[in-house]
Structure 1
Amino acid sequence: MITTRMGHVGLRVPDLDAAVAFQCDVIGMVETARVGGAAYLTCNDRHHELILIADPVRRGYDHIGLEVAGPAALDAARRRVPAAGGTLLGDVYDGEPGIDRALLVRGPEGHVFKLFCGMERGVRLPDGDRPLKFEHVSVKVRRMRRFERFLEHGLGFRFSDRIAPIASWWHCDADHHGMAVVRSPTAELSHYAYAWPDLNALGRVADRLKAERGRTPLWGPSRHGPGNNLFLYHRDHDGALVEHCAELQRMPPHGDYVPRRWPLLPDQINQWGGPPPLRFVWAGHPIAPPGTGRPPWAVGGASSRTAEPARHA
Structure 2
Amino acid sequence: MVTRIGHIALHVADLDAAVDFQQQVIGMVETERVAGASYLTCNERHHELILIEDRTNRGYEHLALEVADASVLDGAAKRLTAAGGTTLGGIYDGEPGIDRALKVQSPNGHVYKLFCGMETIDPPAPGDRPVKLEHLSCKVVRPRAEERFLTDGLGFRFSDRMGLLASWWHCDDDHHGLALQRSPDSKLHHYAYQWSDFGALGRVADRLKAARGRKCIWGPSRHGPGNNHFLYFHDQDGAMIECCSELAHMSDGYQPKTWSMAPGVLNQWGAPPPARFVLTGFPIATPDPGRPTWAIGR
TM-score class, shorter: over 0.9
Q: Is the 8 A contact 1:47 1:123 kept in 2?
A: no
Q: Is the 8 A contact 1:44 1:133 kept in 2?
A: yes
Name the CA distance, whole Å, in 1 between partners of 2:158 and 2:71: 24
Aligned-residue offset at 1:87 = 0.3
Name the CA distance, whole Å, in 1 between partners of 2:126 and 2:228: 26
1:126-165 Cα distance to aligned partner (Å, 9 max, x none): 2210000000000000010011000000111000000010
Aligned-residue offset at 1:36 = 1.5
Corresponding residue number in structure 2 for 1:184: 183
Corresponding residue number in structure 2 for 1:263: 260
Name the CA distance, whole Å, in 1 between partners of 2:193 and 2:123: 19
Deviating above 2 A after TM superposition, structure 1's stretches of 4 or more consecutive aligned residues are none
The AA in structure 2 aligned to 1:287 is I
1:289 corresponds to 2:277: no
Corresponding residue number in structure 1 for 2:159: 160
Corresponding residue number in structure 2 for 1:128: 127
Q: Is the 8 A contact 1:36 1:298 kept in 2?
A: yes
Name the CA distance, whole Å, in 2 between partners of 1:87 and 1:299: 24
Name the CA distance, whole Å, in 2 between partners of 1:280 and 1:76: 39
With 260-269 and 278-287 compared, the bigger mean Cα shift is at 260-269
Name the CA distance, whole Å, in 2 between partners of 1:267 and 1:180: 18
Q: Percent identity?
A: 64
Aligned-residue offset at 1:274 = 2.2
How many pairs does the alignment contain?
298
Name the CA distance, whole Å, in 1 between partners of 2:5 and 2:179: 12
Name the CA distance, whole Å, in 1 between partners of 2:208 and 2:76: 40
Corresponding residue number in structure 1 for 2:76: 77
Corresponding residue number in structure 2 for 1:56: 55
Correspondence list, 1:86-235, <5 A: 86-235=85-234
The AA in structure 2 aligned to 1:226 is P
Corresponding residue number in structure 2 for 1:307: none
Name the CA distance, whole Å, in 2 between partners of 1:73 and 1:117: 9
Corresponding residue number in structure 1 for 2:27: 28
The AA in structure 2 aligned to 1:280 is F
Aligned-residue offset at 1:49 = 0.1
The AA in structure 1 aligned to 2:88 is L
The AA in structure 2 aligned to 1:213 is R
Corresponding residue number in structure 2 for 1:306: none
Aligned-residue offset at 1:25 = 0.4
1:273 corresponds to 2:270: yes
Q: TM-score, normalised by structure 1?
A: 0.94
Name the CA distance, whole Å, in 1 between partners of 2:106 and 2:4: 18
Aligned-residue offset at 1:267 = 1.8
Aligned-residue offset at 1:75 = 1.7
The AA in structure 1 aligned to 2:259 is W
Name the CA distance, whole Å, in 2 between partners of 1:169 and 1:297: 32
Name the CA distance, whole Å, in 1 between partners of 2:165 and 2:54: 33
Name the CA distance, whole Å, in 2 between partners of 1:9 and 1:209: 21
Gaps of 5+ in 1: 304-313
The AA in structure 2 aligned to 1:293 is G
Aligned-residue offset at 1:63 = 0.4
1:145-191 Cα distance to aligned partner (Å, 9 max, x none): 01100000011100000001000000000000000000000100000
1:251-286 Cα distance to aligned partner (Å, 9 max, x none): 13xx21110001111221110112100000000000
1:52-83 Cα distance to aligned partner (Å, 9 max, x none): 00101111100001000011111221111000
Name the CA distance, whole Å, in 1 between partners of 2:272 and 2:123: 41
Name the CA distance, whole Å, in 1 between partners of 2:65 and 2:116: 9
Gaps of 5+ in 2: none
Partner SS, residue 90 of structure 1: coil
The AA in structure 1 aligned to 2:215 is T
Partner SS, residue 215 of structure 1: coil
Name the CA distance, whole Å, in 2 between partners of 1:240 and 1:230: 20
Name the CA distance, whole Å, in 1 between partners of 2:4 and 2:206: 30
